[in-house]
Chain A
Amino acid sequence: MGGNFDNAGEVSSNIKTVLKQIGLPKDVIRKAALVAYESEINIVSYARKGMIRLRVVPDSIMIEAIDEGQGIPDIEQAMQPGFSTANQKIREMGFGAGMGLCNIKSFSDVFHISSEVGKGTHLRMIIRASSAVLNS
C-alpha cells in the first residue's frame, strides 16, 4: 500500500525466499531481490497502491511493478541519476536520492517502463538466469 513504510521490503524478502527455494544462483537472486525492493520502495513512496508480480521461467525471472498513482510526467528526467521528487519521510528511510530507477535498470537485463500521469506506472524487468543451474 502506498504511504505505508512499515512493511516496505516485505514483498522483496518473500520473493527472495521463493527464489532461494527454487535454487537459483545467488547473484541472480540478489539482482531480483534488489530490483523488487527498489520497485517496492517506489510504490510505497509515490503510489496509492500497487503490486509486484514475479514470474519465473526456466531461463529468466520477470518482475513487474504495477501501481495506481500519480504516474511520471517525464520518464527521461525520472531516469536521470539524482533526480528525485521524494519527501522528507522517504529520505529519512535512506531513499529518495534519485537512484531507484537507475538501480533497477542497471541490475536488470531487460528494463521497460511506461507511465501515465494520474493513473500509474508499470515497470517490467527481466533478469536472466544461467540455464545450467536451473536444470539441477
Chain B
Amino acid sequence: MTLHEIRKLLDAEVLIGEDQLGMEVNTAFVADLMSDVLAFATAGSLLITGLTNPQVVRTADVLDIAAIIMGRGKRPSQETFQLAEEVNIPILTTKYILFEIAGRLYARGIRGCIEKVGSK
C-alpha cells in the first residue's frame, strides 16, 4: 500500500511527509515500547505507536522506518515534529486506536514485520 492509500484508509492527517505519500509499504510494527521497536522492527516498515516524544523519531531513524503513524489522536510534540522534519520521516496521525489501525491495515494486506519473536 502507498502512504496515500493508508492516509485515506485511516482517515489520517499527514503532519510531515506530504511529498512522500507515494512510498510503498508492506510491513508494520506496533508498540509503545521503543526498546521492543529496536529489537524487532525491520527497515522499511511502518511504526504504529501512541508515543509522541522525540525518541520515537530517533528510534525510527536508527531503524530506517518508512513512516510513523500515531494513533489515538496523538500528535507529536514540538521537538518531535522538528526532529522528524530534520531526518525527513513522515508522520501521520489518526484518531483510530492502535488495534483498529493494525486491523484495517492487515485487512488490506499489510503484515507484521515479523510474525513471532524468535522467528525471522
Contacts and interface: CB of A to CB of B under 8 A. Distances in A.
Contacts of A26: 43, 64
B5 interface: no
Given A37-B38, A93-B34, A99-B35, A13 B53 contact: no
Interface in A12-29: 12-13, 16, 26
Interface string B38-70: 110001000001010111101101111000000
Contacts, number: 70
Given A6-B54, A13-B58, A97 B35 contact: yes
Residue from B35, B53, B54, B64 whose CB has the most chain A CB atoms within 10 Å: B35
B52 to A, nearest CB: 10
A85 to B, nearest CB: 14
- Size class of the contact patch on chain B: 20 to 34
B31 to A, nearest CB: 8
Interface residues of A, number: 24
A99 B35 CA distance: 6
Given A8-B54, A30-B62, A38-B38, 9 more contacts: A6-B54, A9-B54, A9-B62, A12-B62, A16-B61, A34-B62, A95-B55, A97-B35, A99-B35
Interface of B: 32-39, 43, 49, 51, 53-56, 58-59, 61-64, 79, 87
